[in-house]
Structure 1
């Protein structure tokens, strides 16, 4: 019982870290504008894909359920509905992961600067590896591709479960949010971890020891990123929250000294 209570407390702490990210980000109108630019570019690209997918979802669902063409109409429609739901669930998972990865890559120098300022205001970055952003770009791309590949691999069983009546429309979306939240937490903590010379394997190992905390942060980010317009301001705020999450799991302070200025609000 105590472990469940502790896990619940950690989950709520992760949620609060995201809230603090929004609060810090919202202090500066200039940052609101600059932080949204990379997300706006990515959002425009993904909007085209989603319009196409939603416009042709019936045809796509019918195509992937070709084996049910000769079934009775009721069963055929049920299978097509499950396939359509599964396609949308899988598309949401992969879309959020790729949206976040591309946005972070486009805005890498800017988001790196925000994250670094946050840490400077909290006492600095112990173990920092001082490399120019272009030296860390390729490792970041490799880690992002690996995470997307994992997301695609996990999406396959979720898609197949989508064919199961009731389960596909209830359990699968919940599992999708959990998987997506975990992968998003790994993706967003890349900036502060990379600054310390720590790669994806290190992030995975460390965050695994704080799974409820990581899910409490990652799941709401994943869910909010499903809303196209809101997603524009989520990524920069989530980068700040991920910086706080990183410091928390590494045992560093996430509280500003009483006399410290609000560095992000300049």
Structure 2
């Protein structure tokens, strides 16, 4: 069975918006009254888990600095004032990246619901994805989809990370390649939710994103860059889902629409 092409789907929207535009549109969508509940739940889970982990990590950091202070001569004690802010900022950035990965697993069912509601808001058409009990029964498949993304990500990530150890050429090219790869993975991660709501296979979803690779990469680059900003990274996930769903509606929906949806 051949995959659908996207040449005839919403051509005017394709020309008008970049992936970055779609991501920024997500900031407007998360404030819409009908979406706030679906944004709030995963956001609160994220904040509570992050706050708990930060409390534990901060305690460990205090112990580490107490040990370092005991080892430093008195004339170098001023280093604590320099190192503390740097250590806390580094910890925040590292934890933000770790939690973005963990939260994609924990919030996967909520993310699918958010994508569904955004699509309904943008199109006025209801996508029937089942009752709450159907959602619970569907959890193994939803988590299996996350596992597919992880299996796709890990070997490629390891390969790119190994490039950092290659002298000269690798160390020059690796940061650029890593950013490009991260951008591609962010596009896959967040565009997958509306695709999965329509039961589009994972490989077909990647095929569709490759057809519009410039838009996909600019969307993923925006997600990657905003994920590096402390505090802002807490809301990147719902913003990216809303933006990715808007991109789905404009560019892919007509070609990959699920049969359980009202006709146009």
Q: What TM-score results when the alignment is normalised by the length of structure 2?
A: 0.63
Alignment of 1:1-266 (within 5 A): 13-27=18-32, 33-41=40-48, 43-44=50-51, 96=97, 99-124=99-124, 129-130=129-130, 132-251=134-253
Q: Deviations over 1:132-154 (max 9, x none)?
A: 32233222222222322332211
Equivalent residue number for residue 75 of structure 1 = none
Shift of 1:243: 0.8
SS in 1 for 2:138: helix
| Cα root mean square deviation, aligned | 3.9
Equivalent residue number for residue 4 of structure 1 = none
SS in 2 for 1:122: helix
SS in 1 for 2:231: helix
Structure 1: how far apart are the matches of 2:57 and 2:214? 31
Q: Deviations over 1:160-200 (max 9, x none)?
A: 22123454444212211211111121111222112111231
Q: Deviations over 1:23-47 (max 9, x none)?
A: 2214569556545213224545776
Asked if 2 retains the 8 angstrom alpha-carbon contact of 1:17 and 1:241, the reply is yes
Q: Which has the larger radius of gyration?
A: 2
Structure 2: how far apart are the matches of 1:194 and 1:120? 15
SS in 2 for 1:198: coil
Structure 2: how far apart are the matches of 1:42 and 1:12? 35
Which residues of structure 2 form unaligned runs of 5+? 1-13, 65-89, 255-264
Asked if 2 retains the 8 angstrom alpha-carbon contact of 1:39 and 1:231, the reply is no
Q: Deviations over 1:113-138 (max 9, x none)?
A: 33222212222458754363223322
Which residues of structure 1 form unaligned runs of 5+? 1-8, 57-87, 253-266
Aligned length in residues: 209
Q: What TM-score results when the alignment is normalised by the length of structure 1?
A: 0.63
